[in-house]
Structure 1
């Protein structure tokens, strides 16, 4: 019944995993630099800019708030990861 649609979702998920890993590689480097210079994990101004950027990048405006929510969760995951790296 949903074979085609689920195959498309599976293909997208495969790409998202690769992109997430790439993003986390960059986060790991940011965490290393923050630790070296004793900088806080949270940079609220940066987070606000990212959220505004993804809201504006979202072409289908019906998805804009969902995108913002997704990125809030994503940034929470990365902050938790950074905190672990700074221990």
Structure 2
């Protein structure tokens, strides 16, 4: 019944995993730099700019709130990862 749609979701998920790993590679480098320079993990002004940017990039305005939720979650995950990296 949903074979075509689920196959599409599976393909998108594969791409999302690849993109997430690429994003986390960049986060790892940022964490390294922040640790070396004793910079704080949270940069609220950067987070605010990212959220504004993704809301603006969202073509289907019905998805704006969900897109913001997604990126808030991503930033929560990356801050936790950076914290863990700084503890090592």
How far apart are 1:7 and its partner, in Å? 0.1
How far apart are 1:35 and its partner, in Å? 0.1
How far apart, in 2, do the equivalents of 1:46 and 1:33 lie? 16
Runs of 4 or more off by more than 4 Å in structure 1? none
State the superposition RMSD in angstroms.
0.2
> 1:26 maps to what in 2?
26
How far apart are 1:57 and its partner, in Å? 0.2
Structure 2: gaps (5+ residues): none
How far apart are 1:83 and its partner, in Å? 0.1
How far apart are 1:50 and its partner, in Å? 0.1
**1:28-55 CA distance string (max 9 Å, x none):** 0000000000000000000000000000
How far apart are 1:59 and its partner, in Å? 0.3
> 1:14 maps to what in 2?
14
Structure 1: gaps (5+ residues): none
> 1:38 maps to what in 2?
38
How far apart, in 1, do the equivalents of 2:11 and 2:5 lie? 10
* TM-score of the two chains, using structure 1 as the length reference: 1.00
3-state SS, counterpart of residue 86 of structure 1? helix
Number of aligned residue pairs: 87
> 1:61 maps to what in 2?
61
3-state SS, counterpart of residue 12 of structure 2? helix
How far apart, in 2, do the equivalents of 1:68 and 1:55 lie? 7
